[in-house]
Structure 1
């Protein structure tokens, strides 16, 4: 690398973040936080030869940069597209196109759809939908979700299968709103499918949004919760439209109410900010801290040590923890309290129906329905335990899971 006179860089983005600059290559989602002088040197390398960039830096900062080490770091990050040596023809040395950065990547897919989904007319429609749903909840008590509404049918074993079939697409829609919000900004974003134990999970990668200013990164993290509000509103309105002459919802309406209840739980789940939920990422973005959970855990563990052995913390970290700690306690307490209340109510209703089913006598349809339901519920925990033990053994042996 010592013989290099100029470099050709990939398309890079520069986002000023106070005393630092976040430099990234969006197409590979590689990012690095550089001091201002390092970012300035990198900008010079985009349009000038290496000796010219070094000379500029020496004049601007009154010191000589370690250019060899700097170029090594750029290469490891994948920022360098080409590195030309002194053996190139002299006629190329003055060619600006050789020194310019590579052209920006093509527009992301679904960019137009993303702009339409979050356009002004769309927001007017979303507002009308949510407002109407609130009015229906106030005036039509038959469609209000609750723990007892989870059991929409008299057949117990049918309930979890139907709800899983309904909830999986709704969870995917939640993640898709994150993706579209990112692509609306022109940032790369995608959904991947994985599993936790035997549960299918969708995971959204939004690394591309670090190519835009921090204030524009907030909404992509909130977009999933917007989806939950819209889904909840649509389900309530559907249940209201499905009512019979007596005012009670039919089977499709009851399924919608049960799904709306779990959608509301999913919305509240986002406030468990110690679990890196949507709200956690919003707060981390606003505060400029990428690892709020790690910061909080470090602080809490330090309280168990003698004061002299506690790790040093910056004043900024202390300022964040002064209000983030109480906020975490408040959010987690509220979410856990509601979750515990819901669990108790659901288990109470489930136990009551089981009792009635077993009380109907052996051999009856309700008896076998209750029996199959118990095996299904217990079987889930047994399967989860077996898979967890298998994964633990695989980790211990270093095998793929």
Structure 2
């Protein structure tokens, strides 16, 4: 068995693992990233693209933010459609000048791969049978199969950034791990189309037929979603049926001027809230979807992963460069405090804007009253804006 050593072994070659690897490399801390899929597969994932201020600064710090700054779009607000009208949340006004960056997660991942390549970073793809060993002992290590050969990596620490279905969280003993989950009774049917966005800023729509979202990747690439039952399948929906249903859920003025066209990607994503505690077990640290999932309504999934990476980067830098373990020791508690606040915000946004199957007429009136209150209260809009741009690290 081939054996080598590194300071931090990172399981998962998505944006979380790549960002941490890049930041640590720039600080002189050695890493190796293990990814189960091919690079093309990772880059083929279509994900969200609303980046908090903190994530934007991390990407710049990593040296992978130049294209984002050239091509990304800074958004100072977004709209909520309800009762046939559009109301705007002014992020810059209510969140002390902070904004969000619209830049696709696929592009973030591509930029991070290129940055890793430029620095000679180690990213091993198509690894199989990954097993984590001796997490509470003196010799933490990872074994796996790569290119048909058995391999072993000894590491001071292991970071599990391998997603909800990865091996890392499952390596924590069942009597230690606590899991909290809420599954929502609907999904989002999303399409990607080479069309101009419906509006310069995102539109979240609350409608009696269900939720809708108008988003974008750039001036000629749009991303749209509608709420659908979990029993639906993407192939059940023709492009024409999707556009018709989307327009029904939007104010008439928006629907009339919307550009439509063939979809280049179509899928249905279920919605869930999920948190695993603790986020550290011995030498293992969980990050991103390995530890928590949020419904996408509040645009918090990738951004929560970024805050995990911020805490881990600071903790590893303190440990390896200054001999201080406090940042790593406090990682789980600090990360989870921010995770639960983001879970609450994402749950609230989802509850505010979606039509739940068991809602009574009274429930619907209360939901509308919540929206009416939101746009009559400066304090309520400030709370929404502060959460949307991202709470402080």
TM range (shorter): under 0.3
Q: Taking structure 2 as the reference length, what is the TM-score of the superposition?
A: 0.24
- Give the structure, 1 or 2, with the largest relative contact order (CA under 8 Å, sep 6 or more): 2
Q: Taking structure 1 as the reference length, what is the TM-score of the superposition?
A: 0.24
Instruction: Give 1 or 2: higher strand fraction.
Output: 2
Instruction: Give 1 or 2: higher helix fraction.
Output: 1
